[in-house]
């Protein structure tokens, strides 16, 4: 009887524990479900000038981006009319506390590559909805423009040109929002002279992860100012920015030449970025497929005597005078110091707008053929100057067999033009190269232009860079674990983490980056 009693007791204890666990888990599930089901109602009660949308079409649109590889559906999309709408929404989520699963992502023109502007089950803010206050241009000794964080750079160009002015630094594609590019860096062929776009900002208005609206600059709230610039949206949402301007030309001289030797190509590029009165825009291409090179060459400029070569350098001259084109003798003087193939020299004159917005022409053509909204497995790298030859030999010589599926950009930038107080990570050398593999993948293809092939190629490039210890840093980076992000930031990780704990302690903002996954605490 004693053994029977012990057996019954043991069985009773086991059943009690099982029952308790089932009840406990059921309570958690009920609580979570209750929390989730009540959140939309609480959001709907927010006093907003704009509106929150729960429509399927809006959610589906916010779940996609230019990369066209990741889709995370939000719970709602905010269409704000004012900064206070954004602040109220973030403040509401902040007040829900650590038990809430809600996160918030700012979405500009949707040009992210890896779902960075998405928020699974959260709220996506449509930054282009903010229309007030209007863009304001201030001319004078130190001209600038005040713009909304959701404004497109192409609109800024057209507005500032009315005053004979324009921003100093650009991206190659202008149909991007101010907040989007400033949250990364914003680079183009002008970065060697003026630095990235984040080096040309005087003041910001930011909504932090606690819903506080803060005006910041180098002199005021400087820590937040530099945190947000290149901060990948982790510390606040940029709602307004003051951008430095300079006198703008109406016409520019656009020059293209071909190189057959990579060393000569990079040597000339490095020479040009230190020539104070030479070219103002320097950008290069690497084209490995010779047939593709000649086809692209004829399509764009049709030189009289095209020569087979493997490297293309493009340089655009923009006069600082802003009104007149340089003389033929001045161009020849600059070109005499370069080691390109003489027979490939081509020059043309275009408007400043046509030069800066040149990629949009390609976009229109691709859209007409249904080839714009396809996967874009891009890979952007910062390569130290001392490693660029080694990188080129292996990557362009062995890994990348052809470039018919998209351009490969390459040009040097001067680190002295970058502010090390921002959140951007760059190589530890004074000069480094941007190398951008801008591939487009055909979804139905199993060949070199297929998504899996391009992703495999990107992986091989990254593995080589790590194996060879080149000191490469990804730009527009994408990682799947916090440890990978820790390696990416290196010595800067600790300060990046500290800034997060100050400005977004509940990890509400920019969940799509995957840097600080939000942990839910059950009270």
User: Looking up tokens 């060879």, which residue turns up?
Assistant: 468
111 a catalytic residue: yes
Q: Is the CB of residue 478 less than 8 Å from the CB of residue 380?
A: no
Q: How many angstroms separate the CA atoms of 90 and 136, rounded?
A: 27
* Residue from 85, 159, 270, 283 carrying the catalytic annotation: 283
* Residue from 79, 92, 109, 111 carrying the catalytic annotation: 111
Kindly list the distances between the CA atom of residue 113 and the CA atoms of 65, 164, 191, 484, 508, in Å, as whole numbers in the listed order: 7, 34, 22, 18, 21
Q: How many angstroms separate the CA atoms of 101 and 93, rounded?
A: 9
85 a catalytic residue: no
Q: Tell me how far apart the 2 most distant CA atoms of the chain are, in Å.
A: 113
* Residue from 172, 212, 261, 429 carrying the catalytic annotation: 172
Vertex 314: Cα angle to 382 and 420 (nearest 5): 30
The token pair that represents 170 in the structure block: 């650009």
Q: How many angstroms separate the CA atoms of 150 and 50, rounded?
A: 15
Task: Note if the bond before 133 is cis, omega within 30 degrees.
Answer: yes
Q: How many angstroms separate the CA atoms of 183 and 197, rounded?
A: 10
280 a catalytic residue: no
Q: Phi/psi of residue 371, each to 5°? A: -115, 20
Q: How many angstroms separate the CA atoms of 440 and 195, rounded?
A: 28
Q: Is the CB of residue 446 less than 8 Å from the CB of residue 477?
A: no
Q: How many angstroms separate the CA atoms of 254 and 281, rounded?
A: 9
What is the DSSP-derived secondary structure letter of residue 517? P
Q: How many angstroms separate the CA atoms of 74 and 71, rounded?
A: 10
Q: Is the CB of residue 407 less than 8 Å from the CB of residue 285?
A: yes
Catalytic amino acids? 111, 172, 283
């Amino acid at each position: 009887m004693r053994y029977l009693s012990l057996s019954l007791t043991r069985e009773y204890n086991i059943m009690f524990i099982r029952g308790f666990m089932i009840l406990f888990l059921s309570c958690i599930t009920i609580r979570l479900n209750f929390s989730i089901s009540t959140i939309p109602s609480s959001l709907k009660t927010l006093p907003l000038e704009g509106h929150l949308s729960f429509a399927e079409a809006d959610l589906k649109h916010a779940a996609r981006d230019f990369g066209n590889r990741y889709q995370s559906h939000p719970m709602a999309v905010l269409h704000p009319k004012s900064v206070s709408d954004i602040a109220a929404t973030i403040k509401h989520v902040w007040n829900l506390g650590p038990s809430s699963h809600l996160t918030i992502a700012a979405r500009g023109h949707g040009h992210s590559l890896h779902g960075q502007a998405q928020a699974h089950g959260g709220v996506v803010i449509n930054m282009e909805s903010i229309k007030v206050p209007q863009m304001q241009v201030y001319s004078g000794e130190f001209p600038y423009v005040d713009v909304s964080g959701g404004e497109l750079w192409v609109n800024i160009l057209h507005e500032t040109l009315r005053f004979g002015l324009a921003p100093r630094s650009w991206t190659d594609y202008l149909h991007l929002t101010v907040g989007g590019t400033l949250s990364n860096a914003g680079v183009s062929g002008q970065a060697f002279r003026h630095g990235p776009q984040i080096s040309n900002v005087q003041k910001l208005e930011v909504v932090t992860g606690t819903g506080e609206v803060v005006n910041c600059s180098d002199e005021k709230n400087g820590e937040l100012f530099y945190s947000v610039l290149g901060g990948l949206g982790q510390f606040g949402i940029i709602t307004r920015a003051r951008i430095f301007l300079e006198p703008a030309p109406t016409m520019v001289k656009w020059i293209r030449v071909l190189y057959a030797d990579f060393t000569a190509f990079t040597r000339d590029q490095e020479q040009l970025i230190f020539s104070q009165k030479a070219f103002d825009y320097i950008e290069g291409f690497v084209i490995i497929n010779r047939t593709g090179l000649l086809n692209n060459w004829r399509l764009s400029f049709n030189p009289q005597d095209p020569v087979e070569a493997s490297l293309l350098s493009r340089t655009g001259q923009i006069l600082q005078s802003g009104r007149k084109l340089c003389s033929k003798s001045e161009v020849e003087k600059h070109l005499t110091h370069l080691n390109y193939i003489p027979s490939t020299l081509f020059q043309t004159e275009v408007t400043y707008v046509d030069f800066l917005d040149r990629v949009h022409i390609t976009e229109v053509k691709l859209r007409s053929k249904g080839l714009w909204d396809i996967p874009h497995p891009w890979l952007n790298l910062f390569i130290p100057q001392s490693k660029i030859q080694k990188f080129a030999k292996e990557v362009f010589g062995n890994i990348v067999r052809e470039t018919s599926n998209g351009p490969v950009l390459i040009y040097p930038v001067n680190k002295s033009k970058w502010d090390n107080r921002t959140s951007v990570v760059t190589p530890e050398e004074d000069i480094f190269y941007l190398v951008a593999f801008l591939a487009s993948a055909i979804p139905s293809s199993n060949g070199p232009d297929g998504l899996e092939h391009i992703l495999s190629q990107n992986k091989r490039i990254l593995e080589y860079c790590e194996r060879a210890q080149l000191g490469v840093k990804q730009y527009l980076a994408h990682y799947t674990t916090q440890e990978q992000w820790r390696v990416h930031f290196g010595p800067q990780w600790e300060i990046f983490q500290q800034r997060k704990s100050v400005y977004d302690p509940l990890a509400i903002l920019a969940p799509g980056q995957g840097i600080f996954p939000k942990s839910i605490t059950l009270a």
